[in-house]
Amino acid sequence: MSNNLTRKSLAFGAMVALASSVIAGAPAQAAGEVVFAPTTGTSYRTFLDASFELTASLAPGQVAANITQLKYQIAGTATGDVLYGINAAATVATTSASQVVTATGSATVANKLSLALSAAKVTANATYSTTVTAFIDSNSNNVLDSGEFSQAQTVTFVKYSEVVPTVTLTTPAVGDTTLKASVSLADINVSQLTAANYKIAFTSTGTGNGTIADVQVSATGTATSAALTNANVAADVITAQAKYGTTLLGAAAVSATVAARTITVPVVGDITAVTGDNATGTTARTNSAFSVALLVKDTATTPAAKAGEVVSVAVTSSVAVSATKTLSVNGTVSNATVALPTALSVTTDSAGKAIVNLIPAGFAAGDTFTVTYTAQNVVVAKTFTLADAAFSITDSQDETASANRAIAKGGTVSFNLEVKDQFGVIIAGSARIKTTPTINAVAGSASYTAVAAGKATVSLVDTQTAAAPGNDSLKIELETQNASTLNWAVSNFAGFGAASAAFQTVTVAVSATAPGFASSPAPASGTKFTGTVTPVEYTAVTGVAGDNGVSLLNVAAGLATSVAGQKVTISGTGLLFRVGTKNYADSVTLFSGAAGAFAVTVYGKTAGDATVTLVTGTTTKTAVITFAAGAPALVAIVTPAQAQVGQALDVVINVTDKWGNVVATPAAVGAGNLGFLTVKSTGTGYFASAAPVANAAGVATVKYIVGTADIGTAYLSATLDLATDVTA
């Protein structure tokens, strides 16, 4: 019996030993059973006078009910240094340097510990740290024992002077109405700060802006001031500094000076439709591609195109884009799901233009698009209206667009017609001109002339023989053919010449004899007249105006019989004639306007007399215009390519304008030698004199001496003293 008892005792002892070995082999504390971290944010640092909150919980897989044994150990340097609160504000002072606080945790409600420093520690103004441990007091002895689940964290309360914020001030620009900055606090848990106390303090030296209210920093770390009393102007100084409560953070504010604009302020007139087949002025062809451009210039005394300027563009439509109404803007199609751009970035090209390419589809005539450009805080916008093609008929010879003609009885008047739409595109498809004459109130039969390549020539023949003839008229209409029915129908068109569609009938004044000129034509301002009009439309002679004189020929009294629509041909070899906005080389044919008057501007580039011939009917008149040379622009040296030693050579210097006309310079040396020539040489030989040379006839001759021993190469130059010197 005793043996049995002994065996049982041995078995029990083995079991105890086995259990003991299992306990002894377990770690004192397994990591991660208790989770203890800031309730919000990740940093464990806050301001000296702020509070800080942590939340404790059990990790997944732990026995949830064990959280009821949650306690905190708060370690400080002395009793009362740290205030705490369990699921409440930190108001209770610690009673020892390492106090254990019972939390009575909950498995369903967050277990929060709030910490703060005592008033005395805050007043001491020294950075202070406390280590807090959340633990599960499994034996309920109110002591953190080895082996109990726990997690320790150190919370640091930082004095303001040790916080170094990073403040970035958004570069202020002329025209800004608010100030903007962003701030980052180095390792401070800003999510636990009192949001209303976390601010940016702005200042501005701008007139009238005065005190700017502090701005609360957003959750993203940015702040934007309230609207300024006055928008930024150049040279205003802006500052920004981080602030918490009433304390400014950092050693100094970040500052920036408002720079002046680098572009000339654009205006609405700087926005234009790019000239093409689908746009003109503020009108664009319905559902066709067209482009809009803003011209940006620099701030030079004479502003020039500014390339590389980034411009923001917004586009709006009078009709909402949809699945059936789409608008492509610089390649991106806006529709039911893609909105129109509100801040499209466009960079100006080498010509200074910020171009927006638009392709509408599904819209109707009358719909509008507004393109708004923003450049350096300047906003300009222009609206463009879609329109269907509206054709007009013009006479290529009728630069005055008078839509009137005058002939002698029995004569013939022709019209060289062109049919184009408002975008300058010739009519396509089958089209013809229907003309119906009326001779002295007697209607004639209609005739038809095909329009080929947008052109057609029609005529009216007067058949009157009476001594006192009456006027004729010619009704001009445009007809187009239906591609399906092949029927012809009169097409409404914008008009003939400058007239509206209501004036399709052209009056032809008929006189007993061909009229002549009322007086001999002459330059209106005498024989010499200077001007600055540049005939840019006529590329063959672009730039001649303003360089060599402009003579205005104006027959104010017009034709002797004061008849509108009389044909006048004006010609002159080597001359340019400007009528209205167009230019013609050597000759132009026009029709007189009201009361028989007409005007033409004559340009010449050769100094001297030029003869202008004017012809109307059987009458010919001439006018002589004297053109003066232009401003001195070119200097040329005429000298032999080789010379013998021991010679004195004549070096000839010619001064001309840009067209080669001889230009005289002063006969006596004036202030600063302005207009005089100076000569210079290097190498062999020398000028007899380097003094300024008079050039009264546009030609100066200077002696150049080649000595008996001067063998080699000579380099000669002549400089004309002008505002910008010219050297040859």
| Cα gap 230→206, rounded to integer Å | 7
The CA distances from residue 573 to 470, 587, 600, 605, in Å, are 38, 8, 15, 11
* Statement: residue 203 has pLDDT above 80: yes
| Cα gap 366→286, rounded to integer Å | 9
pLDDT of residue 22: 38
User: What mean pLDDT do residues 405-419 have?
Assistant: 87
At residue 311 the predicted structure's pLDDT band, cuts being 50, 70 and 90, is very high
User: What mean pLDDT do residues 298-304 have?
Assistant: 94
pLDDT of residue 472: 92
* Statement: residue 225 has pLDDT above 90: yes
- Mean pLDDT value across the chain: 82
pLDDT of residue 644: 75
User: What mean pLDDT do residues 703-723 have?
Assistant: 74
pLDDT of residue 328: 97
Q: Under a CB-based contact definition with an 8 Å cutoff, are residues 655 and 632 in contact?
A: yes
Which uninterrupted H or E stretch holds 490? strand 488-491
Q: Under a CB-based contact definition with an 8 Å cutoff, are residues 536 and 542 in contact?
A: yes
pLDDT of residue 398: 60
Residue listed under structure tokens 């052109």: 455
| Cα gap 395→448, rounded to integer Å | 17
* Statement: residue 191 has pLDDT above 90: yes
Q: Is 185 exposed, middle or buried (0-12, 13-18, 19+ CB in 10 A)?
A: buried
At residue 560 the predicted structure's pLDDT band, cuts being 50, 70 and 90, is low
